[in-house]
A = this chain, B = another copy of it.
Amino acid sequence: MPEIRQNIATKEWVVISTERAKRPEDFKSIKEKKVVPEHSQSCPFCPGNEHMTPYESYVINDEFGKWKCRVIPNKYPAVVSEGTVEYKMEGIKRKVTGVGCAEVIIESPKHNMIIPLMPENDLAQVIFVYKQRYISAEKDKRIKMIIIFKNYGEQAGASIEHPHSQLIAIPVVPFHIRYRIEEAMRYFDETGECVFCKMLKEELLCQERIVVETGHFVSFVPYAALSPCHMWILPRRHMESFSEINDAEITDLAKNLKLTLSKLYLGLDNPDYNFVIRSVPVNEKGKEYYHWYITIMPRLIKTAGFEIGTGMSINTSIPENDAKFLREIKVR
């Protein structure tokens, strides 16, 4: 009998489709394997081609003055940095000017560097850069919401192969986020507890869906995982905003994220994925009821009419099986 599960925090429903269930191994990536070079002459993100990108807004250099991580304004930005926030409502036409910030974080000078192969220190540096850019965007009074994300591979919407992530800061709080916050608030009002802290506590107690535990972070397959090997990484400490992450936590997140993504890489043959840092809207810090986290979505299945029509998902993999599968993968 299929189960329709609900995520207690986000209220998202998902059909855990036992009738169509597959083993996690069945979702192994079937994309063509190719050798990616360490440097590409035509890649705008490779060293030597800095003139092909806008001037950097942030950079970390090594001891020889060569950049290790570089942040640039997006050349084709979703939102633009110049201008004021103006709302217009005219009958059915409602809009706000698309101002904000769109940056690209080039994670490494090496064209073929991927997180499972990255030294932990370098990954910690990338996360440190995420934090710096988040804090910088937060200072802009026009900004209401900041999203940091990575699109890895074509199925995940990446158009450039060179390892990079993005920050987009927008002048509105989308209702999708607002509803999550409202739900978390309601749970807190009713129970006096952060729903994410509660979830983490129960997941740790039951252990069934845990993937990687490190000192400050826990990755797991949520009870109502939306798709095969969908994972969350939650900080153990209650923090509503990503900007509050401290140095020890950055180091530990690098360790956890690398391990978690390595398991995905090894277990499913380097699948495409997105990850997103979900943080509270910028003017709403100090909330007791919200908790930032990272969601990792391997792009293994296609969404179709049912998902569009209901906003629900169909997961043809059992979360507990996925977690066990990933947990048992040995990473050197």
Interface residues in chain A, defined as those with a beta carbon under 8 Å from any beta carbon in chain B: 1-6, 8, 11-13, 15-20, 76-80, 83, 91-99, 145, 147, 149-151, 154-158, 166, 168, 170-172, 174-177, 179, 198-199, 202-203, 223-224, 274-278, 295, 297, 302-306, 308-312, 314
Contacts A15-B79, A19-B76; is A274 near B305 (CB within 8 Å)? yes
Nearest residue (CB) in B for A99 is B1
Q: Would you call A179 and B177 a contact (CB within 8 A)?
A: no
Q: Would you call A310 and B157 a contact (CB within 8 A)?
A: no
Interface residue from B8, B11, B97, B176 paired with A1 (Cβ < 8 Å): B97
Q: Would you call A17 and B78 a contact (CB within 8 A)?
A: yes
Interface residue from B1, B95, B151, B310 paired with A98 (Cβ < 8 Å): B1
Q: Would you call A274 and B78 a contact (CB within 8 A)?
A: no
Least Cβ–Cβ distance between A102 and chain B, in angstroms = 9
Interface residue from B6, B79, B198, B310 paired with A95 (Cβ < 8 Å): B6
With the chains together, A91 CA to B202 CA distance in Å? Answer: 8
Least Cβ–Cβ distance between A323 and chain B, in angstroms = 14
With the chains together, A298 CA to B99 CA distance in Å? Answer: 28
Q: Would you call A78 and B306 a contact (CB within 8 A)?
A: yes
Cβ–Cβ < 8 Å partners of A314 in chain B: 78
Q: Would you call A92 and B199 a contact (CB within 8 A)?
A: yes
With the chains together, A295 CA to B17 CA distance in Å? Answer: 25
Nearest residue (CB) in B for A305 is B149
Nearest residue (CB) in B for A152 is B305
Contacts beyond the supplied A147-B309, A166-B305, A175-B311: 20 A-B pairs with Cβ under 8 Å: A2-B97, A3-B98, A4-B95, A6-B95, A8-B92, A8-B93, A8-B94, A15-B79, A15-B170, A19-B76, A92-B199, A94-B224, A147-B305, A149-B305, A149-B308, A155-B302, A170-B310, A275-B305, A278-B309, A295-B308
Interface residue from B1, B12, B98 paired with A2 (Cβ < 8 Å): B98
| Top-5 shortest CB links A-B | A176-B311, A157-B304, A149-B305, A2-B98, A276-B309
Contacts A80-B1, A305-B276; is A311 near B11 (CB within 8 Å)? no
Contacts A2-B79, A17-B78, A147-B310; is A12 near B175 (CB within 8 Å)? yes
Cβ–Cβ < 8 Å partners of A168 in chain B: 306
Q: Would you call B94 and A174 a contact (CB within 8 A)?
A: no
